[in-house]
Structure 1
Amino acid sequence: MKDLTILCGVEACAIFQNSFPEQPTIWPSVGEANRIIEKFRSLPEFERVKRMINQETFTEQRLKKMEAMLKTQQKDNRHKEFTQVIIQRLDGSSAILPLKTDDDCVELDNVINQFIKDIDRKMEILQNEGSSSNPAPQVS
């Protein structure tokens, strides 16, 4: 718990109650826990609600975040797959373009356009390097 408060930069307390009829364990201390709880209770309701999260809400938020990450990774993988197939085709391979949906056609178009932009950029760099290394002769 202490590590969590340090890493997150927040005040926290914990009350642990096990199934036996013993006194609960309170961290960091009873007095400090009471102070933190009172500080929390003194906040306006909208501030308290804003800071509250239960396991279900936390899990839903994590799931949404993970789904977004999965979607991004799938798109990146698809882009790489198209790039690999295009390179194989340019090398003379008879690789089959995996076009199954309209989204595949859009992704293929994006990959091809990115190739064209990269080639144009590299050509511009080479032209600039060539013109700067071979200065035009000065006319006297």
Structure 2
Amino acid sequence: MTRNRVTLAYLSNDAARKTTYKKRKKGLAKKVSELTTLCGIEACAVVFSSYEPKPQVWPDSKGAQQVIARFQDTLALDERKNLNQESFTRQTIAKVSVQLKKQCKENREKVMELALFQCVEGESLDDKTIVDLDDIDCLIQKNINNIRNKMDEFV
């Protein structure tokens, strides 16, 4: 026999609401206990209710204070390291932007090398812009300097 699915809605009957609260509170405490035992972690639960004058704390007040203190220490450490989502995203964007610029520069050099080789094979440079021609000139000068450096190594 299976249980009927419970619809999640406010219970208007006060007695039924109080009974459900007590059952669910007991189940929540059991789940926290199981989680700490099975996973070997620290966990706590705090429940404030209008049915009881003091909040219910699991496992106990001292244990909950230790877990909360550890949580706050972790938050403070994260703030010191500036590891929030916004700064992480900004750092990632900055790194990717640098990589993009580097890749664009490399691609531009490859395109200019290709144009240079096509020119050597006899194709015209008429379709190239002044910027393209300047880049080809820089590439030629760079290659000449590399050749001179290698020749100087042999002398």
- With structure 1 as the length reference, what TM-score do the two structures score? 0.50
**What corresponds to 2:42 in structure 1?**
30
Residue 36 (structure 1) shift: 5.1
Residue 124 (structure 1) shift: 3.2
Counterparts of 1:31-70 in structure 2, within 5 Å, are 34=67, 37=71, 40=74, 49-70=79-100
Q: 2:115 aligns with which of 82, 85, 92?
A: 85
Counterparts of 1:104-123 in structure 2, within 5 Å, are 104=132, 107-123=135-151
Report the aligned-residue RMSD.
3.7
CA distance in 2, matches of 1:28, 1:58: 30
**More displaced 10-residue stretch of structure 1: 47-56 or 81-90:** 47-56
* CA offset digits 1:5-57 (Å, max 9, x no partner): xxxxxxxxxxxxxxxx95676776118x948546547x7xxx65331322232
- With structure 2 as the length reference, what TM-score do the two structures score? 0.46
SS at match of 2:144: helix
Asked which structure has the greater CA Rg, the reply is 2
Stretches of structure 1 that go unaligned for 5 or more consecutive residues are 1-20, 129-140
